[in-house]
Structure 1
Amino acid sequence: MPTWIDILIRSVVFLVLLFLITKGLGKKQMSQLNIFQYITGIVIGSVVAITITDPTTNPVYGILALAVWFLLPITVEFLSIKSKSFRNFFQGKETILIQDGKILEDNLKKERLTIDDLLGELRSNQFFNASDVEFAVLEPKGKVNILPKKENQPVTPKILGQQATPEKEPQTIIMDGSVLLEPLSNASLNKEWLEAELAKQDVSLENVFLGQVDSDGQLTIDLYDDQLTPAEPTEKPLLLASMKKCQADLEVFALATNNQHSKQLYNNNSKRMQQAIDYVNHHLE
């Protein structure tokens, strides 16, 4: 058999094997790697490269080596799940870099990090002043996670003592001009609703590159033609406008009547409508 044909066959076979091994090792192999996963990736790549490019190498030996390096990481992952000490040895432990707002210089030296490295990590997390950070930890995969000081944390409804409305993830219901029926059903909507919404914006389904609907049932779309701008969703503004008009009408009715009982009734309902507007406006924002 000619050498080039042998290399071609080996390349195809080992490409398939490498794809199956990567799938078998799981998604963690595709994300940030720990130390052992990093070594595994290098060895598997080297075995495949040598077996493909060296025609004198017996491909069976390459397949045997891949089998070993496929089973070995799975065994390590299984033992890591069962034992924390084993996991700490193979995957490493987290290292605290800042605690109680103070930089731990000894831990920086232990991880061979300079103060410039630390400041760079802080900046990548949008903190340009080390004094704004309460706690920072270097994870085994090399990522630095940061807890800002209380006064630098973003304001949340919980901090303000407000009840947040549950919000579901947006559903992609149109992609490449085609309707995705499962996400549409997950949003408790149907094709008739979608056709009506597209008609409101004077857009045909074939012209929509991407369409998404949020938890409030508002449709946003992106068109193939970048020169065209689709209309903005109007449901929320129209709802608020209608409520404000009702509240204004109640105030006008209260001013127009001389009946004290009716005037009081209109004023009370106007205040209640204003409370409803404030509540709805808070959640719509």
Structure 2
Amino acid sequence: MPEWVEVIIRTLASIVVLFGLTKLLGKRQISQLSFFEYITGITIGDLAAAISLNVKEAWYLGVISLTVWVLVSLGIEFLQLKSKKARDFLDSKSTVLIKDGKVMDDNLKKERLTNEELMQLLRSKNAFKAAEVEFAVMEPNGEINVLLKKENQPLTPTHLGIKVGPESEPQAVILDGKIMDEPLATRGLNRRWIHAELEKLGVSLDNVFLGQVDAYGQLYVDLYDDQIKVPQPQQKAMLFAELKKCQADLEMFGLSTDRLDAKTLYGQCATRLEQVIDDVKPLLTR
């Protein structure tokens, strides 16, 4: 067999074996690497390349070496799951870099970080002043996590005492001009609803690149033709405006009647409707 053919066969076999072993190691091997996992990843890649090109050596010896490395890595992962001491030894512990706005110089030297590198890491977390940071910690995988002081944190509805309704993930119901029945059924909708909504928007199904339905049953579409502007759904805004109009009508009826009992009834209904509007406002005005 010519060597170039053998190299092709060995390379294809290495890809299959490496893919299978990497799947066995799991997603952690390609995301947050510990020191040992980093070494394992480099070594496995080097062994796979050696199996592909070293035609003078038996291919199965490389596969055996790969298998040993993978088994050792799996054993280390199981050991880490069972023992905190093993986790601390292999992955090391998190290191506090900033506490109460003060840079921990000794910890910075321990991680061999310069001031410039620390500021770069802070900027990646949208923190531009060390004094504004309540707590900054370097995780074992080298990532830095930052907690700003309360007065420097972004304003949220919780700070304003505003209740925000829960919202589930949007469902992609149209992909490449084709209706996805399973996500559509998840929202309790059907194809007839899709066609009716597309007719309201004035677009055809085959021109829709992506269509999503949010938790409130509103359809958002992205078209192949970028020159066409699609109007945004207005159902929530229209419902909110209608509720406000009903409240205003009740108040007007109460002012226009001379009967005391009717005036009281209209006033009570307007007050209750106002409470309902306050409850649903977070859902209808975002």
TM-score when normalising by structure 1? 0.93
Backbone CA RMSD of aligned residues: 1.8
Aligned twin of 1:39: 39
Aligned twin of 1:58: 58
- Take 2:146 and 2:70, find their aligned partners in 1: how far apart are those partners? 35
Structure 1 residue 149: deviation in Å?
0.9
**Which amino acid is 2:29 matched to?**
Q
| Contact 2:44/2:66 (8 A) holds in 1 | yes
Please give the secondary structure, in 2, of the residue aligned with 1:93: coil
Structure 1 residue 94: deviation in Å?
0.8
Aligned twin of 2:268: 268
Aligned twin of 1:180: 180
Structure 1 residue 281: deviation in Å?
1.9
Aligned twin of 2:98: 98
Question: In percent, how many aligned pairs have the same letter?
Answer: 50
- Take 1:179 and 1:36, find their aligned partners in 2: how far apart are those partners? 46
* Cα offsets for 1:12-50 (capped at 9, x unmatched): 111111111111111112213221111111101111112
- Take 2:212 and 2:39, find their aligned partners in 1: how far apart are those partners? 41
1:193-272 equivalence runs, <5 A: 193-272=193-272
**Which amino acid is 2:30 matched to?**
M
**Which amino acid is 1:7 matched to?**
V
**Which amino acid is 1:193 matched to?**
W
Aligned twin of 1:141: 141
Q: Structure 1 residues 231 and 162, CA, compared in 2 at 3 Å: closer, same or farther?
A: closer
Structure 1 residue 141: deviation in Å?
0.6
- Take 1:283 and 1:200, find their aligned partners in 2: how far apart are those partners? 23
Residue-pair matches, total: 285
**Which amino acid is 1:42 matched to?**
I
**Which amino acid is 1:74 matched to?**
L
Structure 1 residue 153: deviation in Å?
2.5
Please give the secondary structure, in 2, of the residue aligned with 1:96: strand
- Take 2:161 and 2:248, find their aligned partners in 1: how far apart are those partners? 30
Aligned twin of 1:110: 110
TM-score when normalising by structure 2? 0.93
1:16-31 equivalence runs, <5 A: 16-31=16-31
**Which amino acid is 1:170 matched to?**
P
**Which amino acid is 1:22 matched to?**
T
- Choose 90-99 or 153-162, whichever is displaced more: 153-162
Structure 1 residue 269: deviation in Å?
2.5
Aligned twin of 1:86: 86
- Take 1:156 and 1:114, find their aligned partners in 2: how far apart are those partners? 34
* Cα offsets for 1:234-269 (capped at 9, x unmatched): 110110121122122223323332333323333332
- Choose 148-157 or 202-211, whichever is displaced more: 148-157
Structure 1 residue 161: deviation in Å?
4.6
Q: Which runs of 5+ in 1 are unaligned?
A: none
**Which amino acid is 2:254 matched to?**
A
Structure 1 residue 162: deviation in Å?
4.9
- Take 1:73 and 1:30, find their aligned partners in 2: how far apart are those partners? 13
**Which amino acid is 1:121 matched to?**
L
